[in-house]
Amino acid sequence: MQRLYDFIRRHPTGVDTFWAVVLLGISGMSIVQDQTGGGRERVAAVPIAVGLCVVVALRRRAPERTLLLAILMGAAQLVFGVRPNAADFALLVITYTVATVGERWASRLALGCSLVAAGLSTLRWPQEISSSGWAESVFVVVVMTVPFVLAWVLGDSIRTRRAYFSQLEERAARLEREREAQSKVAVAAERARIARELHDVVAHNVSVMVVQADGAAYVMDASPDQARQALETISVTGRQALAEMRRLLGVLRTGDSQESGEYVPQPDVEQIEDLVGQVRRAGLTVDFKIEGTPRPLPSGVELTAYRIVQEALTNTRKHGGPDAGASVRLVYFDDGLGLLVEDDGRGAAHELYADGGADGAGQGMIGMRERVGMVGGTLDAGPRPGGGFRISALLPLKAAGQ
């Protein structure tokens, strides 16, 4: 049974053609048995019946054209005096079809023809109606019109229902596309955040470890105490890097974070002094000053400030040269926090601080700009007029738009 149903759905025109052939056979028998009409009416009845059966066969492929063909056949019936027969059932079928799937003009035309068809038939063959009076004639016209109107109403209702479901499906598809787009944006943002965190953790700590390892190798024979101190710094820095990595992984594994114990808290402004001390121990001269009255800041602002200073000092060690020195200034304003990190080294290549970098360079600067943008601040980075490099940032207490 299911196979038959699937076949019917796949071949609608074939099914309509089958019913058109059945209707043509019934119409042919009624024409042969009709003894009331003359030879002229019988001759005209055959092509009219064939035309109406074609309407049934092709109603889904070309509903508007078959409607016009049905109107033409109906008009031919009136002109040649061919009395209503079984083939006229096609008029009912095409009215329903056009109301369901046809153009709006065709649907209205079918409704108009349905309202006048019974009246025209009554006027053309008044002898078919009882002579009891005009009231009975009106009643017969109304009864003959009702099936056509019901067919049109049913078809129009199905059209409306299909349009409603189509809108629901389109809306669901649009919402699904929007959800997918939002998911992609969220994934991209999360990947960017993870990339920033990994870069800040790995680049800074590994840079310190490399500098200390080079120094230890250089003084290994001449000054074992300095080499031992450098190795201790490498050990401490490595542990700190591991702790930072565990914190980052703990953030990613939100479902396990509550069960796996406490992780290292996010760095804040107070830890910048420790960061400066670590860099000093690595061999870089850093001048650190705080202006204004220190006070608690939003966690996002504090983390951003720490990462900016961390990245700036890392860049100084990478690009400033062996004799470079740096200065760090934190300025507490009423409405935000100002940062100024300068060095007197060789500076950096343009692609390391230009927007977007080049060929993958300048990822740290990209991360800084993204962090500052997330808290609604401003960042300026570039060479100093007298040599060296400067990074200045202003981080507001409230993000833009709040």
In-domain check, residue 167? no
In-domain check, residue 149? no
Which strands form 336-343's sheet, in the order they lie side by side? 285-291, 325-332, 336-343, 389-396, 378-383
In contact, 95 and 145? CB cutoff 8 Å: no
Burial track 361-400 (b if 16+ CB lie within 10 A, e otherwise): bbebbbbbbbbbebbbbebebeeeeeebbbbbbbbbbeee
In-domain check, residue 191? no
pLDDT of residue 400: 44
In-domain check, residue 21? yes
In-domain check, residue 98? yes
pLDDT in tens, the chain (402 residues): 677 777 777 888 888 899 889 998 998 888 877 756 566 777 888 899 999 999 999 999 999 999 999 999 999 988 888 888 888 899 999 999 999 998 999 999 999 998 998 888 888 877 655 555 677 778 888 888 999 999 999 999 999 999 999 999 999 889 888 888 887 887 777 677 667 766 666 666 677 777 777 777 777 777 777 777 777 777 777 777 777 676 666 656 554 444 444 445 578 888 899 888 888 887 788 999 999 888 888 888 888 899 899 888 888 887 877 778 899 999 999 888 999 999 988 766 655 555 544 434 456 777 788 888 888 899 998 888 878 899 999 999 864 444
Query: What number of other Cβ atoms are within 10 A of residue 199's Cβ?
Result: 17
191 token code pair: 């990947």
Among the candidates 128, 150, 176, a domain finishes at 128
Give the structural domain span for 318. 267-402
Which secondary-structure segment (H or E) carries 135? helix 134-219
pLDDT of residue 359: 38
CATH number of the CATH domain containing 310: 3.30.565.10
- Please tell me whether the overall predicted TM-score, pTM, comes out greater than 0.75 for this model: no
Q: How far apart are CA 203 and CA 253, in angstroms?
A: 23
The burial of 345, by beta-carbon neighbours within 10 Å (0-12 exposed, 13-18 middle, 19 or more buried), is given as: buried
- Closest-CA residue to 56 (of 21, 84, 82): 21
Which secondary-structure segment (H or E) carries 330? strand 325-332
Among the candidates 66, 93, 128, a domain finishes at 128
In-domain check, residue 328? yes
Among the candidates 128, 162, 197, a domain finishes at 128
Total tally of structural domains belonging to the chain = 2
In-domain check, residue 208? no
What is the DSSP track for 140-188? Answer: HHHHHHHHHHHHHHHHHHHHHHHHHHHHHHHHHHHHHHHHHHHHHHHHH
pLDDT of residue 165: 92
Query: What number of other Cβ atoms are within 10 A of residue 286's Cβ?
Result: 20
In-domain check, residue 111? yes
